[in-house]
Structure 1
Amino acid sequence: MKRILLGILLFAFLISCGNNKTKTDPFAAITDMVDSVKYEVADTLQQVELKEEPKPTEADELFDDFIFSYASDETLQRQRTEFPLPYYNRDTPVKIEERFWKHDYFFTQQSYYTLLFDEEDELELVGDTTLKSVQVDWIYLKTRMVKRYYFERKRGMWMLEAINLREMEKGENEDFVEFYTHFVTDSVYQSKHISRPLQFITIDPDDEFSILETTLDVNQWYAFRPVMPADKLSNINYGQKNEDLSNTKILKVNGIGNGYSNLFYFRRRNGEWELYKYEDTSI
C-alpha cells in the first residue's frame, strides 16, 4: 500500500513539473539565498578590514601630539605598532606578537617629561612638522641603561617599528649623564657646580606678560630650585645631536597638563660641568 501511495505522489509531481512551460530548479532559491549570504558576509568582512586600517590623523602632523595620543589610547597604540615588533634586549633579538603586547604609557603617568639639547637653536626642532624619523628614550641614571623606541612616519602616519634596550654608548651624553646624576643626588657637589652668579629668567611677578632677567647666588638657588628628576630622564630625539663633544647642554622639563616649564643650561669649563642659567616660565 505504501509503495502504491509513493508511486502516485511521484507521478503527480512529474505531471505538475511537465505542465510548467518553464522548467525550474527546485534548489535555485536556496542557492541564491546562500550566495546572497556569502556575498553579504564577504562584504561585511571587507568593510571591517577597511575600518580597522589605520589612517593619518591630525595628531600625526606634530610628533608631540602623536606621542601623547599613542601613549594614552590603547587602541591607537596597537594600530600604530608594527607587529611582530622587533625588540632588542642588549644583544638578544626577539619579536613581540600583538597578543603579548602590553599598553605602554610612556611618561603620561607622571607629571612631567624631559628633553635634552646641545644648543638653544635645537629647541626649535620640537615644532618641526617635516620629521620622518623620531626616537623616544628612557635614560636610567643609576644603571646607565637606555631604552629607545624607533618611530617612522609612513604614508603620513607615525608607526613604532622597534625597541632597543642597551647600555649607554660612549659619546651619547654619557659624560653629561654621569655629571647630572651626581649633581642631583649630592647637594655639596651641586653647590660646587653652580655658576656664581647664576643667571635666572622668570616671569615678572608684577606683569605676567613680561620676562624678568636677574641673577641668583647659591643660597637663593636653593630657595628657588625645583625638584629635578633623579631616577630617569626621558628624551625625544627630533634630530638634535646629543653628543658628548658638545660643551653645552640644555635640560628642558615640561609639565604635563599643568603649565610647568623649566630650562636648565649647563656648560663645560676647564673640563668641569656647571649650571650657569636657570629659566622658570611656568604659568
Structure 2
Amino acid sequence: MRNLLWGLSVFALLLSCKNPKANIDTFSAITAMVDSVGAADMHSQESDQVKDDTPKPIGADELFDDFIFNYATDTLFQRQRTIFPLPYYNVDTPLKIEKKYWKHDPLFADQTCYTLLFDSEDDMDLVGDTALSSVQVEWIFLKTRMVKRYYFERSKGMWMLEAINLRKMEEETENENSSFVTFYTRFAVDSLYQREHICQPLQFVTVDPDDEFSILETTLDVDQWYVFRPALPVNKLSNINYGQRNEDGSSTKILKVNGISNGYSNIFYFRKKGREWELYKYEDTGI
C-alpha cells in the first residue's frame, strides 16, 4: 500500500509539471484511486474475516483427541466449532446460549491432567478410532453428584459442539453406597478406607528402572502401595465417551489418568466383590 501511494505521488508530480492547471484534478484523481485501493483492501480484510469465521475441516478433525485439544485451547476455533444458539439443558430447564454470550471454555486444558473411565480393557482401544462420529466429553462432580456433558458430532468432516447437558447423576437405587462414584469419592480422600479396599497383593505394572524400554510386572503389599501411590483426583473426574460402555451396574471400572503435555500416565483397575469395591491393579507407565 505504501509503495502504491509513493508511485501515485510521483505520477502526479510528473503530470503537474507538464500542465499546472491539472494539479487539482490530478490529486482528486489520486484521492479517488487511493480511496478505491483502500476500499478494496478493506473488502479483502472483511473477506478474510468472513473466512476466519467459517468452519472448515482441518487435519485435527481426523482424531477426536487432536480436535478437542485445539477446541479447548483456541478461542477463535472454539467459536467456529460451536453451533449457536447452543442448546443448554440446565437440569430440567432448556436454555439457548447466543454467540455473543459465549465465554471460552477450556474444558480440562487448564488442568494438570484429565481422566477417562472404562468398563473393560477392550474399550480402551476406542481412544484412537478415526471412524467416530459422535463423542461426549463429561465432567463428573463428585460432591454434588452432577454430570456436565458436552455433545460433539462430526458432520462433513468437522467436529462441532451441538449441545450441553447438566444433570443429576443416576445412582443405583438398591444400594447407593455400591455405586462406583460413591466409592471412589471416599477412596480418594480417606486413607483408612483406602487401606480396607486394596487387594492384597496388589498387581503393579511399571517401567523397569534398569531398562526404560521394558515393563516390569510385580506386586505390592498395602504398605508399599502408600509408598508408590500417586495423588488421585478428588473433586471431579473428566471423561471422554468415545462409545465405550460406562454402565452403572458394571462390576469393573478402569480409571485412566493422563497428564497434559507431561508424559504422566496412571491406570487404576477396580472391581466389585459382593457389594464392596477394591483396587486390584495399578499401572504407572508414564515417562
Superposition TM-score, scaled by structure 1 size: 0.83
- In structure 2, the partner of 1:97 is 98
CA apart distance, 1:40: 6.2
Aligned length: 247
What are structure 1's unaligned runs of at least 5 residues? 1-32
CA apart distance, 1:49: 3.2
- Distance in 2 between the 1:264 and 1:166 partners? 26
- In structure 2, the partner of 1:269 is 273
- In structure 1, the partner of 2:155 is 154
Q: Which has the larger radius of gyration?
A: 1
Query: Given the alignment of the two structures, is residue 201 of structure 1 paired with residue 202 of structure 2, yes or no?
Result: no
- Distance in 2 between the 1:257 and 1:141 partners? 25
CA apart distance, 1:42: 11
- Match of residue 186, structure 2, among 168, 173, 182: 182
What amino acid is aligned across from residue 254 of structure 1 in structure 2?
Answer: N
Question: Aligned runs of 1:237-276 on 2, under 5 Å?
Answer: 237-276=241-280
- In structure 1, the partner of 2:133 is 132
What amino acid is aligned across from residue 133 of structure 1 in structure 2?
Answer: S
User: 1:150 and 1:192, CA in 2 relative to 1: closer, same or farther beyond 3 A?
Assistant: same
What amino acid is aligned across from residue 140 of structure 1 in structure 2?
Answer: F
CA apart distance, 1:170: 3.5
What amino acid is aligned across from residue 185 of structure 1 in structure 2?
Answer: V
What amino acid is aligned across from residue 160 of structure 1 in structure 2?
Answer: L
User: 1:52 and 1:227, CA in 2 relative to 1: closer, same or farther beyond 3 A?
Assistant: same
- Distance in 2 between the 1:188 and 1:205 partners? 30
- Distance in 2 between the 1:255 and 1:68 partners? 13
User: 1:186 and 1:48, CA in 2 relative to 1: closer, same or farther beyond 3 A?
Assistant: closer
- Distance in 2 between the 1:244 and 1:48 partners? 47
- In structure 1, the partner of 2:228 is 224
What amino acid is aligned across from residue 138 of structure 2 in structure 1?
Answer: D
What amino acid is aligned across from residue 211 of structure 1 in structure 2?
Answer: I
Deviating above 2 A after TM superposition, structure 1's stretches of 4 or more consecutive aligned residues are 39-52
CA apart distance, 1:41: 9.6
How big is each residue's C-alpha offset from its partner over 1:202-237, in whole Å with a ceiling of 9 and x where there is no partner?
A: 000000000000000000000100000010000000
The SS at the match of 1:208 is strand
CA apart distance, 1:246: 1.4
How big is each residue's C-alpha offset from its partner over 1:52-79, in whole Å with a ceiling of 9 and x where there is no partner?
A: 3111111110001111100000000000
- In structure 1, the partner of 2:107 is 106
User: 1:273 and 1:92, CA in 2 relative to 1: closer, same or farther beyond 3 A?
Assistant: same
CA apart distance, 1:100: 0.5
CA apart distance, 1:271: 1.9
- Distance in 2 between the 1:51 and 1:181 partners? 44
What amino acid is aligned across from residue 236 of structure 1 in structure 2?
Answer: I
CA apart distance, 1:103: 0.5
How big is each residue's C-alpha offset from its partner over 1:233-259, in whole Å with a ceiling of 9 and x where there is no partner?
A: 000000011002211100000000110
- Distance in 1 between the 2:41 and 2:87 partners? 35
CA apart distance, 1:122: 0.6
Superposition TM-score, scaled by structure 2 size: 0.82
Worse-superposed segment, 43-52 or 173-182: 43-52
Worse-superposed segment, 201-210 or 45-54: 45-54
What amino acid is aligned across from residue 275 of structure 2 in structure 1?
Answer: G
- Distance in 2 between the 1:268 and 1:189 partners? 15
What are structure 2's unaligned runs of at least 5 residues? 1-32
How big is each residue's C-alpha offset from its partner over 1:5-48, in whole Å with a ceiling of 9 and x where there is no partner?
A: xxxxxxxxxxxxxxxxxxxxxxxxxxxx9xx99x9699755665
What amino acid is aligned across from residue 239 of structure 1 in structure 2?
Answer: G
- Distance in 2 between the 1:160 and 1:240 partners? 19
- Distance in 1 between the 2:233 and 2:48 partners? 48
- In structure 2, the partner of 1:11 is none
- In structure 2, the partner of 1:26 is none
